[in-house]
Amino acid sequence: MKKFSKTELFESVPVPRALASLAIPTIISQLINLIYNMVDAIFIGRTGNSFMAAATTVTLTLTMMNVAFSNLFGVGGGSLIARLMGVRRADDARKVSAYAIRGCLILAACYSLLVGLLLTPILRFLGASPATLGYARQYAIIVIVIGSLPAIVSLTLSHLLRNAGWSSQASLGLSLGGVLNIALDPLFMFVILPRGQEVTGAALATLISNLVSVSYLILAFRKAQKTAPLSLDLRKARGLDRGHVRSLYTVGVPSAVLTGLFDVASISVNKLAAAHNDLVLAAFGIVMKVERIPNAVNIGLCQGMMPIVAYNFASGNRARMKQAVHTARLYGLIISAVSIALLEIFAKPMTNLFLSTAQKAADDPDAALQMAKNAAQTVAFAALFLRIRALASPVQFINYHSSFCMQAIGDGKATLLHATVRELGFYIPMMLLLDRLFGQNGLAAALPVGELLGAIFALWLLHRALHKTRAEVEA
């Protein structure tokens, strides 16, 4: 693919080609990063231990908070940088990047400290049972308490680089950690550490991968700041005016809240699933990992779209902005339709990937047989739940797409309203209602129903936001 300058990508390259140039590296990065996050669960699943698998489900909520905190400064700062580039204010953009990096460092340190002090009660609140608590602690101490700082900084730097037009470098940094984690997981889990320490091995592999990823991204950022409006000099953060600080938080807070509310929804799923039994909990954990594959593609597409929309919104090129919005929407819906077909057809083998049902040789044959039976039941639950929840893919994309568009134009109020109503007004109430009426299958069906209602609301909010910007221009 021909290389274009950052200005050409934002201003003149045909939208489908510009979108591909920014989105394809981001999608690849999202998928590799997803594998990076899922590979622990895949290798832990090879043990056939449903309780280890359930423990990774519990800790997923804590891991997703890393994403929420990085969105606060990465998405908020990145969107503002793209808009400042659109009006040729490079010095202000550098101050924004310095402020965002300083903020994510402080927030990451506070999060690690808080989780470290309250780890056991937090894990119990998230649904850890006596059978899964020990495994969950092993993983969380290394990946969250020790590893949140490099993870949050990596994600923040990648957002800032991407919105400045350095999509390939941002994607490579995250992908590097993902590839390394895939290589290190089996080494630490099955070679270096003794049997029974597979969770600790997976956590150590993830920590090392995060450290390598953040190191590369820092080097990439240092190179990019020579030509892009970015800066690692934290002293520049002191010169950022209050208006830009407000603009950063106007977009960043709703983006963080969106991910945070996703965590609240995950907690609700975990607690309702755990009320059935640990096998149902483990099954939902597997499903939530599998369904993240199409989500990762669609989020990568939206992240590639976002700087084009933000830049052209700020520069006043509404026609190009709208073309980017509509093109990305069309591509996302096509991807979602293909995803439904694949997930419905391959539900059983995909869920089986995360938990082996083969009986392992063991000192206690009866225990090994019971473990294999538990694993088979877990996979059966997971395949059924996945087929139900896969139907949500198109309307989930509409929710993501609308949210990213509103963030790109700086409409934080609409983004926050959408995030709140989507999760607290639609999805969680649907969980409680359908679980009560139809049990665990109803709990699975809550996702497509809740996301459909959220998508209708999102389209209305986006239409209102775009109409408002058109009225402001005409005025």
Tens of pLDDT, residue by residue over 377-424, are 888 899 999 999 999 999 999 999 999 999 888 887 888 899 899 999
What share of the chain in percent tops pLDDT 90? 34
What is the per-residue pLDDT for 2?
A: 56
DSSP, collapsed to helix, strand or coil, labels residue 2 as: coil
| CB neighbourhood size of 401 (10 A) | 25
pLDDT greater than 70 at residue 196: yes
Query: To the nearest whole number, what is the mean pLDDT of the chain?
Result: 85
Instruction: Say how far apart CA 319 and CA 296 lie, in whole Å.
Output: 28
Q: Select from 5, 6, 15, 3 the least CA-distant residue to 317.
A: 15
Instruction: Say how far apart CA 36 and CA 183 lie, in whole Å.
Output: 10
Mean pLDDT on 1-11: 70
Instruction: Say how far apart CA 361 and CA 359 lie, in whole Å.
Output: 7
Residue 165 φ then ψ, to 5°: 100, 0
Instruction: Say how far apart CA 260 and CA 111 lie, in whole Å.
Output: 13
With cut-offs at 50, 70 and 90, classify the pLDDT of residue 4: low
DSSP class per residue in 359-420: PPP-S-HHHHHHHHHHHHHHHHHHHHHHHHHGGGHHHHHHHHHHHHHHHHTT-HHHHHHHHH
Which residues have a Cβ under 8 Å from the Cβ of 469 and sit 6 or more positions away?
A: 313, 318, 409
What is the per-residue pLDDT for 368?
A: 67
Instruction: Say how far apart CA 151 and CA 154 lie, in whole Å.
Output: 5
Tens of pLDDT, residue by residue over 209-238, are 999 999 999 999 999 888 888 988 888 888
Encoded tokens for 181? 């984690």
Please list the alpha-helical segments (H only) found in 167-277. Answer: 167-187, 198-224, 242-276
Instruction: Say how far apart CA 66 and CA 111 lie, in whole Å.
Output: 9
Most confident of 175-179, 218-222, 255-259: 218-222
Tens of pLDDT, residue by residue over 136-167, are 898 899 999 999 999 999 999 998 998 887 87
Which residues have a Cβ under 8 Å from the Cβ of 109 and sit 6 or more positions away?
A: 149
Residue 13 φ then ψ, to 5°: -65, 135
Instruction: Say how far apart CA 162 and CA 174 lie, in whole Å.
Output: 12
| CB neighbourhood size of 456 (10 A) | 14
Taken in order 191, 194, 195, 196, the sign of the CA dihedral is negative
Q: What is the dihedral of CA 397, 182, 217, 33, to 10 degrees?
A: 0
- Cβ atoms 214, 204 nearer than 8 A: no
Most confident of 87-91, 98-102, 190-194: 98-102
Tens of pLDDT, residue by residue over 310-360, are 888 888 888 899 999 999 999 999 999 999 999 999 998 888 877 765 555
pLDDT greater than 80 at residue 16: yes
Q: What is the dihedral of CA 120, 122, 126, 132, to 10 degrees?
A: -10
Encoded tokens for 402? 């609308």
Q: Which residue has the tokens 């080609």?
A: 17
With cut-offs at 50, 70 and 90, classify the pLDDT of residue 1: very low
Instruction: Say how far apart CA 144 and CA 163 lie, in whole Å.
Output: 27
Q: What's the gap between Cα 374 and its chain centre? A: 30
pLDDT greater than 80 at residue 84: yes
| CB neighbourhood size of 7 (10 A) | 12
pLDDT greater than 80 at residue 275: yes
Encoded tokens for 303? 């992240």
Instruction: Say how far apart CA 73 and CA 381 lie, in whole Å.
Output: 38
pLDDT greater than 90 at residue 75: no
Type of residue at 372? A
Mean pLDDT on 188-213: 87
Mean pLDDT on 39-61: 72
Encoded tokens for 54? 């359930």
With cut-offs at 50, 70 and 90, classify the pLDDT of residue 86: confident
Question: DSSP class of residue 235?
Answer: G
Q: Which residue has the tokens 């949140």?
A: 148
What is the per-residue pLDDT for 300?
A: 87
What is the per-residue pLDDT for 226?
A: 87
